[in-house]
Amino acid sequence: MPVEPMVFPAHSRLLHYVVLIGLTFALTLGGILARPIESLSLFWPVNAVLAGVLLRYPRQATPTGFTLVWLAMVGADLLCGSAWLPALWFNLCNLGVVVTLWLLLSRLPRLHRRMRTPHGVLSVFGACAAAAIVAASMAAVMATPWFEQSLRATWLAWFSEQFSTSVLVLPVLLTAPSARALVRGGAQAIRLAPLLVLLASLAFSIAFGGPGAIAFPIAALLWCAWTYSPFLVSLLTLTAGSTLIVAVAQNLMHFSVPQSEPGVTTLLSARLGIAMLVLGPLVVACVSQANRSLMARLAHQATIDHLTGVLTRSAFTRRANTLLESRQQHAQALPLTLMMLDIDHFKSINDAHGHAVGDQVLRQFAATLQDQLHDGELIARLGGEEFVVVLPGMAPDRARFTAERLRRAVQDLHVMQAEQHLRITVSIGLAGCAADMPAPTLDELLARADQALYRAKAHGRNRVEQAELQRQVM
């Protein structure tokens, strides 16, 4: 889905444009001051950062916004002493990167644009390559008059720099969690081992040297990729990639490719190699994240009933069995009660008002029960309009009062339907064991509570019936 155009009040739009101009100006100034005199910078992250910001906050991605970005770049360049024509033209090349990335990526569905799918990661790589081709081609047009390099060498230098920088920088901005997600997620401990191994393998790459050494950190990066979030992995690929590029540029890794083709320098070859190297870890990071989310969703679906938000039958069975086993292990076993609850004449609600109203009744019924229960007490939906509650530490005689309270709360419940109040009642059967009695199995408890429930229905509904108390001594 493309990014939707948004309408904002004039003063808010103006403020956003001012922020965009300030950001562009500061980034460009920083980039120029950091680059060696009279040469192309080792990194020019301005274009990728601006594209990332505009993709995340598309309010200013308008013709006016792009023009202001260009003017701010030109202004910063002129301030640093560039001549007018090169400043205008080369910043138009830079703008070409921002606009191409925006045009190609803003049309992607959000999931792909935020690199949550392998398709998204590959699309970002493709868009970075396309943007680098646009900038390199534009720059090469003016290469001969302004550079002492050939057209081919200029094209290759621009392409390799723009491609590698975009591939390293853009994923950080696209995968960065929003402020709201950060607050919701809270502080989380991270496993340090993959990070430490990555740092060690980077140091080893530089110490060992040679062209093959740029691939040494790949194993550690893959370990990071299936351990950390895509955002953290993007930060690590940026750190690892830029460290290696600087190391190659400073000749710390002691290798050089023979310049068989004009313009193909050691740095250019290493830059392209390093850019391609980070593709694998980024894909792995997004696949593992998707896998983790899927597992969490499946676990949630298996545990929580989607309609009422209480436990499912299978989750209830697991937890209730654990409860009964732990009761058995105590020297002084605590009492315990299980209740079966069944809404009366629920079929007639469905028949008279429709299934959707029936669902609403089920939701409000479950919410009413949850309101009445305390921490540690279990509630689950066994199926249809039948629910079960377990009260650990409460003997059936006392639990009867709780059951009565639940019955009255349901009786007082008003479900609004087409401006009418719908009323329901519930029948409850309870069974349990007193303190120091042997723990019955869950199936036994359910069967006894079910018989009590049957009696409650038979005796006129909207009532509580209790099964015989288990009297056997442990």
Candidate residues 77, 161, 385, 465; the one interacting with ligand GTP per rule CB under 6 A: 385
473 to each of 3, 21, 109, 439, how far by Cα in Å?
70, 82, 65, 10
CB-nearer residue toward ligand GTP: 210 or 354: 354
344 binds ligand GTP (CB under 6 A): yes
286 binds ligand GTP (CB under 6 A): no
> Are the C-beta atoms of 426 and 404 separated by less than 8 Å?
no
Candidate residues 457, 462, 469, 470; the one interacting with ligand GTP per rule CB under 6 A: 457
Type of residue numbered 356: A
423 binds ligand GTP (CB under 6 A): no
Candidate residues 347, 414, 423, 459; the one interacting with ligand GTP per rule CB under 6 A: 347
Least gap, CB of 416 to ligand GTP (angstroms): 16
The residue among 208, 285, 288 whose CA lies nearest residue 244 is 208
| Closest-approach residue to ligand GTP (CB) | 358
359 binds ligand GTP (CB under 6 A): yes
Q: Answer positive or negative: Cα dihedral of 160, 165, 166, 167.
A: positive
Contact positions with ligand GTP (CB under 6 A) in 163-202: none
| Three-class DSSP labels, 295-320 | HHHHHHHHHECCCCCCECHHHHHHHH
HSE (side-chain half, CA atoms, 13 Å) at 1: 5
Pairing mode of beta strands 378-383, 336-343: unpaired
Per the DSSP assignment, residues forming a β-bridge with 290 are none
Candidate residues 52, 96, 241, 358; the one interacting with ligand GTP per rule CB under 6 A: 358
Q: What is the DSSP string of 197-266?
A: HHHHHHHHHHHH-SGGGGGTTHHHHHHHHHHS-HHHHHHHHHHHHHHHHHHHHTTTT-------STT--H
Least gap, CB of 403 to ligand GTP (angstroms): 17
Range in contact with ligand GTP (rule: CB under 6 A) among 31-39, 229-237, 239-247, 338-346: 338-346
Candidate residues 110, 254, 355, 459; the one interacting with ligand GTP per rule CB under 6 A: 355
Candidate residues 53, 172, 333, 343; the one interacting with ligand GTP per rule CB under 6 A: 343
Range in contact with ligand GTP (rule: CB under 6 A) among 72-80, 216-224, 337-345, 363-371: 337-345
Q: CA 69 to CA 72: how far, in whole Å?
A: 5
Q: CA 245 to CA 267: how far, in whole Å?
A: 7
404 binds ligand GTP (CB under 6 A): no
459 binds ligand GTP (CB under 6 A): no
CB-nearer residue toward ligand GTP: 152 or 457: 457
422 to each of 150, 290, 351, 361, 409, how far by Cα in Å?
83, 43, 14, 9, 14
342 binds ligand GTP (CB under 6 A): yes
Least gap, CB of 421 to ligand GTP (angstroms): 18
Least gap, CB of 418 to ligand GTP (angstroms): 16
CB-nearer residue toward ligand GTP: 79 or 352: 352
CA 145 and chain centroid, separation: 49
161 binds ligand GTP (CB under 6 A): no
> Are the C-beta atoms of 305 and 381 separated by less than 8 Å?
yes
Q: Answer positive or negative: Cα dihedral of 88, 156, 119, 52.
A: negative
> Are the C-beta atoms of 169 and 52 separated by less than 8 Å?
yes
Least gap, CB of 348 to ligand GTP (angstroms): 6
Least gap, CB of 440 to ligand GTP (angstroms): 25
Number of amino acids touching ligand GTP (CB under 6 A): 16
Candidate residues 346, 464, 465, 466; the one interacting with ligand GTP per rule CB under 6 A: 346
Pairing mode of beta strands 464-466, 426-433: parallel
Q: CA 157 to CA 267: how far, in whole Å?
A: 9
380 binds ligand GTP (CB under 6 A): no
Least gap, CB of 381 to ligand GTP (angstroms): 9
- Tokens 């199936």 belong to 443
Least gap, CB of 425 to ligand GTP (angstroms): 9
CB-nearer residue toward ligand GTP: 362 or 391: 362
The residue among 262, 272, 58, 59 whose CA lies nearest residue 161 is 272
350 binds ligand GTP (CB under 6 A): yes
CB-nearer residue toward ligand GTP: 206 or 452: 452
Contact residues toward ligand GTP (CB under 6 A) are: 307, 342-347, 350, 355, 358-359, 362, 384-385, 457, 461
